[in-house]
């Protein structure tokens, strides 16, 4: 059997990956990219991290991490060993054998996929593309992005995918704030454009994470990620709807879920809340919705889930107004409110798409005074959706501050919040996370919403 030149070159790349002598480039050193870079370093690869944000590069060069999942020591050790460099010099992409792209994939103002980061990054890679490089997209996106958007840009260089360079897709599955999982222990779905690329992608991630799950095509891998997040968005919407219905009936949805989840099969608990947050669940489903239109297929479940989840901050505000009136005789317009927790999820400092920001914005226009406390968010950073909230400072949580407000709304139940203090000194607590009862704090001034 004759071996072609391409096969020989691919075999060389494969053995460089197996032997960890390959250099891995990671583009976009955020919540996904930096932990991936760290996992690759820990597996023995030399890693070059790329970002357009000079402040991040400066911090990394000084051995300082800005992501909880990656420690300063981890970075400094690998930098000292010459296994990690961070740069905004994209000419260094030519030094990389494999390049993982972890740039943002947000929605535009019209709630359509914004692929400008992926496209821009692909153009930069194309400028430095050389033979035998493996390019993998990690960003969450609609099926067809890698094949229909990235591949033509890369092939416009004259190099061909599957022959001169290799293209793949492998979605990220981070669970920020969760102690149980880290990049290396979460199974990773992998796919390539053609059999050689598929083998290379599987080998690369197989060297970094404990388990890889190969699928037959890049499109399948792209929708696996969307399917996971749509599943969450729809189930959270369902339980949010049940919360509203049961509340009218005087039934506590949290007690219902606790009992229902004792069923050992056919049920999986999802929890209600003040609305969806984070970079993924509120956004990703609409990547599929958009693409489905091209096929003239409606995505009614996804749209409906979006409607229900988006209505939650409004529902919480209504429940707050009702409780203020019925329990304290104070109209919403005269009330002072303390929002407890502004991160989108417990034990993380990330406020992207946080329902707390929406709630604060709604309340700022309606109440007399509003403040927030979040032990992990000292100041609200600038966000695209809520620019007017940027710079707002966290207040301290103590007996005086708690009792100075008519009501506290628990939006995020970080473990480090002193809920006992709230229980002892708040006049009214609107609890959107069942934070009080789940900690054994039973108090008749708590209203679940
Ligand atoms: N955060 C999560 O938990 C999570 C989980 C799974 C998947 N994802 C997906 O991963 C992707 C990245 O998300 P993230 O949360 O890490 O975002 P992030 O905003 O934390 O990080 C993105 C990084 O890319 C950088 N960047 C932007 N444009 C760039 C460019 N042209 N070149 C180089 N760097 C650039 C930004 O400066 C930033 O550091 C998104 O598609 C997201 O949907 C995120």
pLDDT mean values, one per 10 residues, the chain (449 residues): 85 97 98 94 96 97 91 91 96 98 93 96 98 97 98 98 97 84 90 97 97 98 97 97 98 98 98 92 94 96 95 98 98 98 94 95 95 97 92 96 97 97 97 98 96
Nearest to 70 by CA among 81, 60, 57, 80: 60
pTM equals 0.93
| pLDDT at 180 (0 to 100) | 79
Catalytic (active site) residue 394: no
The residue whose CA has the least distance to atom 18 of ligand 1 is 30
Q: Which residue of 51, 87, 114, 348 sits with most ligand 1 atoms within 8 Å of its CB, as the best mutation to test the pocket?
A: 51
Stretch (H or E) spanning 401 = helix 399-403
Q: Which residue of 27, 29, 32, 230 sits with most ligand 1 atoms within 8 Å of its CB, as the best mutation to test the pocket?
A: 32
CA pseudo-torsion sign 310, 311, 312, 313: positive
Atom of ligand 1 nearest to the CA of 28: 24
> What are the beta bridge partners of residue 212?
188
82 C-alpha to center of ligand 1: Å?
25
Q: Which two tokens stand for residue 391?
A: 């710079």
Q: Which two tokens stand for residue 222?
A: 């792209």
Atom of ligand 1 nearest to the CA of 50: 33
Q: Which two tokens stand for residue 365?
A: 């226009």
How many whole angstroms separate alpha carbon 164 and alpha carbon 131? 5
85 C-alpha to center of ligand 1: Å?
18
The residue whose CA has the least distance to atom 44 of ligand 1 is 32
How many whole angstroms separate alpha carbon 212 and alpha carbon 361? 43
Those residues with Cβ within 8 angstroms of residue 177's Cβ, 6 or more apart along the chain or in another chain: 68, 345, 346, 347, 348
The residue whose CA has the least distance to atom 26 of ligand 1 is 28
343 C-alpha to center of ligand 1: Å?
18
25 C-alpha to center of ligand 1: Å?
15
Q: Which two tokens stand for residue 388?
A: 């007017």
Q: What are phi and psi of 62, to 5 degrees?
A: -85, 5
Stretch (H or E) spanning 363 = helix 355-364
Count of residues in the chain: 449
Q: What is residue 113's three-state secondary structure?
A: strand
30 C-alpha to center of ligand 1: Å?
5
325-335 residues labelled b (16+ CB within 10 A) or e (exposed): eeeeebebeeb
The residue whose CA has the least distance to atom 24 of ligand 1 is 28
Atom of ligand 1 nearest to the CA of 176: 3
26 C-alpha to center of ligand 1: Å?
11
The active-site residue, picked from 96, 280, 394, 443, is 280
The residue whose CA has the least distance to atom 13 of ligand 1 is 104
29 C-alpha to center of ligand 1: Å?
7
Give the pocket of ligand 1 (CB within 6 Å).
27-33, 50-53, 56, 102-105, 117, 120-121, 139-140, 172, 174, 176, 279-280
31 C-alpha to center of ligand 1: Å?
6
Nearest to 204 by CA among 7, 8, 40, 34: 40
Q: In what side-by-side order are the strands of the sheet with 98-101?
A: 84-87, 46-50, 23-27, 98-101, 134-137, 166-169, 188-192, 212-214
Q: Which residue of 26, 27, 28 sits with most ligand 1 atoms within 8 Å of its CB, as the best mutation to test the pocket?
A: 28
DSSP codes of every residue in 149-205: IIHHHHHTTS--BTTTBEEEE------TT-TT--GGGS-EEEEESSHHHHHHHHHHH
The residue whose CA has the least distance to atom 7 of ligand 1 is 172
CA pseudo-torsion sign 83, 87, 63, 53: negative
The residue whose CA has the least distance to atom 27 of ligand 1 is 103
| pLDDT at 124 (0 to 100) | 98
| pLDDT at 376 (0 to 100) | 96
């Amino acid at each position: 059997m004759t071996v072609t030149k391409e096969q020989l070159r691919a075999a060389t790349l494969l053995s460089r990956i197996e032997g960890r002598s390959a250099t891995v480039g990671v583009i976009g050193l955020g919540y996904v990219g930096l932990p991936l870079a760290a996992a690759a370093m820990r597996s023995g690869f030399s890693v070059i991290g790329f970002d357009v944000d000079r402040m991040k590069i400066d911090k990394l060069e000084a051995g300082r991490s800005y992501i909880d999942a990656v420690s300063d020591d981890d970075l400094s050790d690998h930098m000292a060993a010459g296994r990690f460099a961070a740069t905004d010099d994209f000419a260094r992409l030519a030094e990389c054998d494999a390049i993982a792209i972890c740039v943002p994939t947000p929605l535009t103002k019209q709630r359509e996929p914004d692929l400008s980061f992926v496209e821009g990054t692909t153009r930069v890679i194309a400028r430095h593309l050389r033979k035998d490089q493996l390019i993998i997209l990690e960003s969450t996106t609609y099926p067809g992005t890698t094949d229909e958007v990235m591949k033509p840009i890369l092939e416009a260089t004259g190099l061909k995918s599957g022959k001169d360079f290799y293209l793949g897709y492998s979605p990220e599955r981070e669970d920020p704030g969760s102690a149980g999982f880290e990049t290396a222990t979460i199974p990773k779905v992998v796919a390539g454009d053609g059999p050689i690329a598929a083998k290379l992608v599987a080998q690369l991630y197989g060297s970094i994470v404990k388990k890889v799950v190969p699928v037959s095509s890049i499109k399948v891998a792209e929708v696996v990620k969307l399917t996971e997040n749509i599943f969450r968005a729809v189930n959270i919407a369902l339980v949010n709807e049940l919360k509203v219905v049961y509340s009218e009936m005087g039934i506590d949805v949290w007690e219902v879920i606790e009992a229902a989840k004792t069923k050992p099969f056919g049920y999986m608990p999802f929890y209600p809340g003040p609305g969806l947050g984070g970079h993924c669940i509120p956004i990703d489903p609409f990547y599929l919705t958009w693409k489905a239109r091209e096929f003239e297929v409606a995505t009614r479940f996804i749209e409906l889930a979006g409607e229900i989840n988006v209505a939650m901050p409004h529902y919480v505000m209504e429940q707050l107004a009702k409780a203020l009136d019925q329990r304290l005789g104070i109209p919403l317009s005269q009330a002072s409110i303390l929002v407890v927790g502004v991160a989108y999820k417990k034990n993380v400092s990330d406020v992207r798409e946080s329902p707390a920001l929406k709630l604060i914005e709604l309340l700022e226009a309606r109440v007399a005074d509003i403040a927030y406390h979040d032990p992990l968010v000292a100041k609200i950073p600038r966000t695209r959706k809520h620019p007017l909230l940027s710079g707002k400072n966290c207040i301290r949580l103590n007996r005086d501050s708690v009792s100075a407000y008519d009501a506290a709304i628990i939006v995020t139940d970080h473990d480090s919040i002193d809920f006992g203090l709230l229980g002892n000194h708040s006049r009214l607590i609107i609890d959107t996370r069942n934070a009080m009862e789940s900690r054994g704090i039973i108090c008749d001034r708590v209203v679940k919403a």
